[in-house]
Each structure stands twice: as C-alpha cells, then as structure tokens.
Chain A
Amino acid sequence: MVLKTSDHTAPTPAEPPALSVKLVIAGGFGVGKTTLVGAVSETPMLGTEAQMTEASIGVDELGPKSAKTTTTVAMDWGRLSLDPGLLLYLFGAPGQDRFWFLWDDLVRGAVGAIVLADTRNLESSFPAINYFEQRGDIPFTVAVNRFDGQLTHPLNQVRDALDLDPAIPLSDCDARQRGDVLAVLRDLISHALSAELAH
C-alpha cells in the first residue's frame, strides 16, 4: 500500500516510487554473517556493531579457533541497487540466543533467507535452520562459509550432518568474496522462484 494524502493538490515526492526487497542472513554467532553482508553491500555498514565487553565474555562461546572480538548486537544491513527502481537489502540476523526475540520482526516480509554455516561448529546453525523449517513460509538455502578458503568437509557430508531436506539448496562460499556471495544470492532467488512457481 502506498500512503498518500487525500489532498486534491497531490504533492510530488522527491523520487518516483521504488521497490525494496529484503533477504535475511542467519546463522550462528561468529559464522561470518557481517562479513558476507559487507562483501556485497554498496554502502558502508551502518549497523549496530558493538565491541564485546567484559560482561559478554563467557556468555558468547567463541572457541579457541576464533579471532572474533566484536559481535552484532542488533542488526547489520547492506544494500545493493539492482535496477533504477529496485533495491535489495540484506539484513544479518543476530546470532546469539538472547536476541531471538528480534527474529520474527526482522524476517517479516523477507523474500528469502540464507543460513550461513561453519563446518567447525555446525551445531551453531541448527537453531536458524530449525527456525526457517518450522516457519515454512520463507524460502531458504544453506551456505557453508569456507574459512581461510578451505572446505573442510564435502557438502554431502555436511548435508547429512545437518539432516537437511534434499529440497533445500546447499552450497559453499567464501563470505569475503563478492563473486561468491552474489552466486549464493542468485541461488537463493532461483530457489525462491521455483518454490513460488510450484505453488
């Protein structure tokens, strides 16, 4: 719905109507969601990224392999202009359990979601996969982030370990690489399109 005044001298907006489309990037804490959004966004990331404080140490389990020192507390977003009247927004869903209450609001109206997974800590992607499976109304794909360029396990083993429905696309990417991330985005939209056409 476009809101306008009912005034007969209808004023003209500064810009012609444009459309925006939202995708949600989900996954466990420290899996690379912020990196992925930053790899393709045309705007500097203006999200609310706060330094971890002492209070959160011991709450967030980072593990010995992680050099991560900050985390996303509310949401990061990025923007891609797809054509003159169409903007794509990517929103990173907060990874920690204590921010789950934000998810329903964030996901509302999204055309699709990507669950980013880390093979060193696959369990951390279970809650996000469960969330989208249970909702059933948001098409989603799973992308394994190749940390340091390495895929540690073949994708078929990852699919088994995640107990992922064969209909859900699974791929791997380097979340730092724009080309990789764009491929993941295209796969998601293709999947959403197939799902919509199958309705």
Chain B
Amino acid sequence: MLRKPSPARATATEQLARTGRPARVRPFTVTGGRTGAQLHLGAERLVSAITDRRYGHRLGPEELAIYNACIAVRSVAELAATTGMPIGVVRVLVGDLAKAGRVLIHPAAADVPKVALLERVLHGLKDL
C-alpha cells in the first residue's frame, strides 16, 4: 500500500516553522519510526483517559504526557497543542494507548446518522 509521506514532512515543517530550527529529536523516533496510526484519527477526534489502576503497565514519557492530558476529554488537536508533540506522533501514541486499554477513543461523527447529527449541531448553534 502506498503511503503518503506527508505526516512526517508536515510535522518536521511545523517544528521548523515554530522554532526556526529543526527538531533535535526526529519526531517519529518516539513512535519507533511508525508514521501511520492503524485507524485514522481526525484532529477533532475525542480521547479520554481510562482510569483504572489494574492496568499497571508502564507508560513512556510521551504516552504518559498524553494520558495525563486527556483525564478530561480532549481532541487530538488539543493533545498535540498541550503536549507540544506533532499531531502525527499524537495519533500513533493515542492508537497505542487505546490498544493497551488506557484511553477511550470516542465515536467519530461519521459513525452516527448524519441528518440527526447536523440537526443537533444546528440546534446547539441556535442556543449559543
């Protein structure tokens, strides 16, 4: 399967643009070089930590940062902003955390009936 190189390039570009110098650690080092999450997580996708002490396995510092940042429900974009990690890295690590049972990935808008969803959004906007 062909995979576009854009996530890695995008994050390197972001880093360069934000700091004016290249990343000291290449962004996907913490993901073991993986640039694609197994499921596509949109930047708006919501994630929350599952708090259960029975799941005792150790988290790496990056995973732990994400876990702690989503004690209250947060989007992938917010997790990237609050941890300072590129969004592509956050996607991969959130996928790992979900697989390990440490975070819940909330449903995507595409998983629910569209008309009812849009009506709910419209209703919400009218109430603001």
Give residues in A with beta carbon < 8 Å to B: 1-5, 7, 9, 11-15, 17-22, 43, 46-48, 50, 53, 73-75, 77, 79-80, 82-83, 86-89, 91, 99, 101-102, 105-106, 108-109, 111, 182, 185-186, 189-190, 192-193, 196-197
Residue pair A47, B40 in contact (C-beta under 8 Å): no
Residue pair A101, B9 in contact (C-beta under 8 Å): yes
What is the distance, in angstroms, from A12's C-beta to the closest C-beta of chain B? 7
- Give Cα distance in the complex from A105 to B110, angstroms: 15
Interface residues on chain B, number (Cβ under 8 Å): 59
What is the distance, in angstroms, from B107's C-beta to the closest C-beta of chain A? 5
Given known A21-B44, A91-B77, A109-B44, contact A12–B17 (CB-CB < 8 A):
no
Residue pair B118, A2 in contact (C-beta under 8 Å): no
What is the distance, in angstroms, from A23's C-beta to the closest C-beta of chain B? 9
Tell me the B87-128 residues at the A interface (CB within 8 Å): 98-101, 103-112, 114-115, 117-128
Residue pair A196, B44 in contact (C-beta under 8 Å): no
- Give Cα distance in the complex from A47 to B14, angstroms: 11
What chain B residues lie within 8 Å of A105 (beta carbons)? 6-7, 10
Return the chain B residue nearest A111 by Cβ.
B109
Return the chain A residue nearest B55 by Cβ.
A11
Cβ of B48 under 8 Å from chain A: yes
Cβ of B2 under 8 Å from chain A: no
- Give Cα distance in the complex from A106 to B110, angstroms: 15
Residue pair B109, A22 in contact (C-beta under 8 Å): yes
Give residues in B with beta carbon < 8 Å to A: 6-7, 9-10, 13-14, 17-18, 20, 39-40, 42-46, 48-52, 54-55, 71-73, 75, 77-78, 81-82, 98-101, 103-112, 114-115, 117-128
Return the chain A residue nearest B97 by Cβ.
A3
Residue pair A73, B18 in contact (C-beta under 8 Å): yes
Pairs A–B under 8 Å by Cβ, sample size 16: A14-B51, A17-B107, A20-B106, A47-B81, A50-B18, A75-B43, A80-B128, A82-B128, A86-B121, A87-B44, A91-B43, A108-B42, A109-B44, A109-B108, A182-B125, A186-B126
A-B contact count (CB 8 A): 170
What chain B residues lie within 8 Å of A17 (beta carbons)? 104, 106-107
Residue pair B122, A186 in contact (C-beta under 8 Å): yes
Given known A12-B50, A82-B121, A111-B121, contact A19–B104 (CB-CB < 8 A):
no
Residue pair B124, A88 in contact (C-beta under 8 Å): yes
Residue pair A20, B9 in contact (C-beta under 8 Å): no
What chain B residues lie within 8 Å of A79 (beta carbons)? 75, 78
Residue pair A102, B121 in contact (C-beta under 8 Å): no
What chain A residues lie within 8 Å of B99 (beta carbons)? 3
Residue pair A18, B46 in contact (C-beta under 8 Å): yes
- Give Cα distance in the complex from A13 to B9, angstroms: 34
Residue pair B18, A197 in contact (C-beta under 8 Å): no
Residue pair B128, A89 in contact (C-beta under 8 Å): no
Residue pair B14, A14 in contact (C-beta under 8 Å): no
Residue pair B48, A15 in contact (C-beta under 8 Å): yes
Among A14, A83, A99, contact of B50 (Cβ-Cβ < 8 Å): A14
What chain B residues lie within 8 Å of A46 (beta carbons)? 78, 81-82
